[in-house]
Structure 1
Amino acid sequence: MTTTDRRAALRAGVKLAAAGAFAAGCSAPPAERAPASSPTPTATARGKPAAAHAPAPRRFAGLPDQIDHSPRGRPEVALTFHGQGDPDIARTLLAKAENAGARLTVLAVGTWLDTHPGLARRILRGGHELGNHTQRHLSINDMSQAEARKEITACADRLHRLTGSIGGWFRPSRARTATPLVQRLARGAGYPHVLSYDVDSLDFTSPGSTAVVRNVMSTIHPGAVVSLHFGYRDTVDALPALLAELDRGGLRAVTTTELLT
């Protein structure tokens, strides 16, 4: 079967209906189906396979410890995905982004990587970026120092085991921004910045694909960091239209590191 055939099969095979539970701007996804095998590594938008190795975190001089947008002013945006949920939906989203020449940033939950370890390399091979969204996706800002540290480092350990790096970014779970304590713990784990966002798609509320596109485009701007989720069918259906609208607006979807460099 060719890569094109595989992508078509993935698109045809997505049957999961989205559920709408959410908390503090970041939700748990619908129940998952049984794991599926990883597809053949895909090529990047430039036509060359991307290395399945996550770059290390880096410090961006002049930018705050907690980043929610880029001040660079270039016509680019970062589509950042909370990495959890049905692996078939994740693969379909990745394939659709690649077909449109877009690169994503995926903040993965550690338990999701434990269940679907092949997705870490699948994300990287598609030219996308991988980061840390805590181990269990609990309310990290409400945890004790010891508990919060364990949530960050446990996911970092999984990423390092799977990719040779702790991932490029840390994003707090079930919160838009991290408390000063969580920021300090993230720095101690090796993440110079916490990645927040300034455009919320609200896709985790399952509002329909049209509303997902409208929610993003109504507040989009050059340098925006957009919050989206794996695990929701509305997001799968919205992505092609969203990328087309961004293109019409002269905006290109790049990884967060590309956006800030």
Structure 2
Amino acid sequence: MDGHRAPMGRRGALGAGAGALAAVLVAGCARSGGTGGGAGPEAATRPSGEAPAPSASGTPAPAASRAAAPAPHRFPALPFRIAHGPRDRPRVALTFDGRGDLDLAHAALARCEQAGARVTVLAVGAWLAEHPGLARRILDGGHEIGNHTEHHLDLAALDERAAYEEIAACARRLRRLTGSIGAWFRPSPTAYASPLLQRLAQRAGYPHVLGCDVESLDHAATGVAAVTRKVAGELRNGSVVELSLGRPLTVDALPLLLAEIGRRGLHAVTATELLGRPAAEVTRTAR
């Protein structure tokens, strides 16, 4: 299987990948008239100014007295559903649906690590049950792990009780395997979350739903060129890219994608690093 080829070193990936990807993009531009650009409809908001602290009389304290006390550290305020991160920093988040072939998953993680990329794996609970050591492998590689439901069912087709249990069961499994329910939740089978699913995710302990602004469509692509052209054509500062962890086509495309990320001066970081989430938020438990 092509996905089982030995991982390419970072320097080799950057050298060979940049040339191959350039040919892919030129071919794609000739057919489409351009690479296009994509941005999700929602973005993490920038921090806003603090409201004046009230004095003992209930009126705002004078500016001089406010300046005397150091302001507490604030993380950026985030919307409930997040499609991308800040557009003013050269960072992107590669997020993987965690399921599929185990050897391919290991190969994908290894290729990311060789390129210095830290990624976010949204894992399916039943998949982790079959491969319980993989959760720790993901974390030990410098990556992070999150919740992509227990069985990867279509949550929109389930009643409220069943949909909640799909989220909560995966959260419980993550806690048993790692000590935490994970930083992020992403619905299945798509990254879209209805208002009901947003409420259920909050109830299970996830303050935010992680969407994306770049979908690789690697589950339906016919070749590496289609995946690399789709992602490279929409990638920009702050992008959250959706990929599959255990598909041979994705593993084959990774050296090209990672080389393109490096060529553009971007850094692949975890979703938490991209969005600056407070660590305290990942300690919530599912009820």
Question: Which residue in 1 is equivalent to 2:154?
Answer: 139
User: Which structure is larger by alpha-carbon Rg, 1 or 2?
Assistant: 2
The TM-score with structure 1 as length reference comes to 0.77
Whole-angstrom CA distance in 2 between matches of 1:103 and 1:213 = 19
d(CA) in 1 for partners of 2:137 and 2:128? 11
Give distance in 2, aligned partners of 1:241 and 1:201. Answer: 13
Write the distance in 2 (CA, Å) between the matches of 1:120 and 1:199: 25
Q: Report the CA distance between 1:153 and its aligned residue.
A: 0.4
1:123 aligns with 2:138: yes
Three-state SS of the structure 1 residue aligned to 2:186 is coil
Rounded to whole Å, the distance in 1 between the matches of 2:141 and 2:76 is 28
1:94 alignment partner in structure 2: 109
SS at match of 1:107: strand
Describe the shift of the 1:223–1:93 C-alpha distance in structure 2 as closer, same or farther (beyond 3 A): same
Give 1:212 shift. Answer: 1.0
List aligned pairs for 1:207-218, cutoff 5 A: 207-218=222-233
Point out 4+ residue stretches in structure 1 off by more than 6 angstroms: none
8 A contact 1:141–1:175 mirrored in 2:
no
Q: Tell me, yes or no, if structure 1 residue 158 matches structure 2 residue 173.
A: yes
Q: Shift in Å at residue 81 of structure 1?
A: 0.2
What is the root-mean-square deviation of aligned Cα atoms in Å?
A: 1.5
Structure 2: give runs of 5+ residues left out of the alignment. 8-73, 277-287
* CA shift digits 1:134-171 (9 cap, x unpaired): 00001112211100110000000100000000011000
Alpha-carbon distance, 1:71 to partner? 2.5
1:201 and 1:68 map into 2 onto residues whose CA distance is 14
The count of aligned residue pairs is 207
TM-score for both structures, normalised by structure 2 = 0.70
- Determine the structure 1 residue equivalent to 2:198: 183
The amino acid of 1:212's aligned partner reads V
1:206 corresponds, among 221, 226, 232, to 221
SS of match in other structure, 2:219:
helix
Cα–Cα, structure 1 residues 95 and 186, in superposed 2: closer, same or farther, change >3 Å? same
CA displacement at 1:176 relative to structure 2: 2.4
Letter in 2 for 1:176: A
Structure with greater proportional helix content: 2
Between the two proteins, what is the percent identity of the paired residues? 60
Written as runs of structure 1 = structure 2, the 5 A alignment for 1:1-80 is 11-12=5-6, 61-71=76-86, 73-80=88-95
- Give me the whole-angstrom Cα distance separating, in 2, the residues matched to 1:82 and 1:250: 25
Please tell me whether residue 110 in structure 1 is matched to residue 131 in structure 2: no
Give the aligned residue type for 1:167: G
- Shift of residue 231, structure 1, vs aligned partner: 2.0
**Contact residue 76 and residue 254 of structure 1 kept, 8 A:** yes
**Aligned residues of 1:83 and 1:107 also touching (Cα < 8 A):** yes
Report the CA distance between 1:73 and its aligned residue.
1.9
Instruction: Provide structure 1 residue ranges, at least 5 long, that are not aligned to the other structure.
Output: 1-9, 14-58
